[in-house]
Amino acid sequence: MRHELFEESMRKRDFSVSTAQDSLHTIVRQNAEGILACSTSSRECEREVIKFASQLQRFANQYTAFGERKKDKQAEHYPWLESDGKESSKKFLATSVECIEEPIISPELGLKGNVDMIVNASTVSKDPSGKPSPSIVGIELKTGHNQRTQNAHMAQLALYTLMLKTKYGTKGDQSSQANGSTDTGVLLYMNGDSFRAVHVAPRLGEIKSLVGQRNVVANETRRVSRPRGVVLNYEDRNLQNNQSSRQVNRRPGKRRISFFESLSKCFSFFALVV
């Protein structure tokens, strides 16, 4: 629900508490079944999620052009993104929302996914020129209690950044759409207590490693999806000439394998059963 509240606030460009409460009423009704399954009440959920509104306001005022910073668009005043313990190397200011929960399919990379938010942004690199550069940037939101930067989250956003380049083109490409995609992604950790905006810019070696992992997963998925069967051999030689007793290749049916069945019967499905 925090994801949905963040998306609604960004879509409306309104981060006031009153607007957040109105949006939250609709969000809670849409998630009523899940709330009931958690044995909690809608009021309790609203009280918990509304704490998220203060961090939304902080993010909007600091990193967007439609918060309090809308009157201050000087590049030297852009905020720095964190770099996971390293020295900050990129300034970032979102100017508008391009799309929300955008499904991206990249046949070139053999990947697909949903980016939480894609924004048109103005970025400034740490170089002598220091000029703002308009580009398309992906934002991945993480709303859990653990606000530490995790390698899995950085790998996810790194692949999203690569996929955005295949869709929108790279910055400076004449054939690219809009402003073109940059090599920068924003990993946004946000809960009711704090928020962090981390700069993710994958290097070539990291991209090669991630694509290699993708190839391993794709190869194993293809291997286990191949048809398999069981060969029935009859020991009685008198039955070998009988057409009804020939070797039969039986493909496994589309039945669900019980957890309590012997793993020896599951063949290469044993990893899924475990």
Residue 25 has what pLDDT? 85
Q: Is 269 helix (H, G, I), strand (E, B) or coil?
A: helix
Q: Which residues of the chain have pLDDT under 70?
A: 67-75, 84-88, 127-130, 171-180, 229-274
Domain annotation covers residue 181: yes
Helix or strand (DSSP H, E) at 111: strand 111-125
Instruction: Write out the residue range of the structural domain in which residue 41 sits.
Output: 1-50
- Tell me the C-alpha distance between 32 and 40, whole Å: 10
Alpha carbon distance 60, 139 (integer Å): 13
> Are 88 and 156 in the same domain?
yes
Indicate whether 21 and 129 sit together in one domain. Answer: no
Query: Three-state SS for 98?
Result: strand
| DSSP β-bridge partners for residue 158 | none
pTM of the shown model? 0.72
Q: 19-78: per-residue pLDDT in tens?
A: 888 888 888 888 888 888 888 888 888 888 888 888 888 888 888 887 665 555 566 778
> Which of 50, 72, 89 is a domain's end point?
50
Is residue 206 domain-shared with residue 234, that is, in the same domain? no
| Residues 70 and 26 occupy one common structural domain | no
Please tell me the predicted confidence (pLDDT) of residue 214. Answer: 86
Does 163 lie in the same domain as 80? yes
The residue among 193, 207, 101, 82 whose CA lies nearest residue 143 is: 193
- 73 and 131 housed in the same domain: yes
Look at the chain and report how many structural domains it folds into.
3
Query: Residue 119 contacts by C-beta under 8 Å, 6 or more apart in sequence?
Result: 94, 95, 96, 97, 98, 136, 137, 139
**Same-domain status, 128 and 86:** yes
141's enclosing H/E stretch is strand 133-142
Query: Is 58 a domain residue?
Result: no
State residue 24's pLDDT score.
85
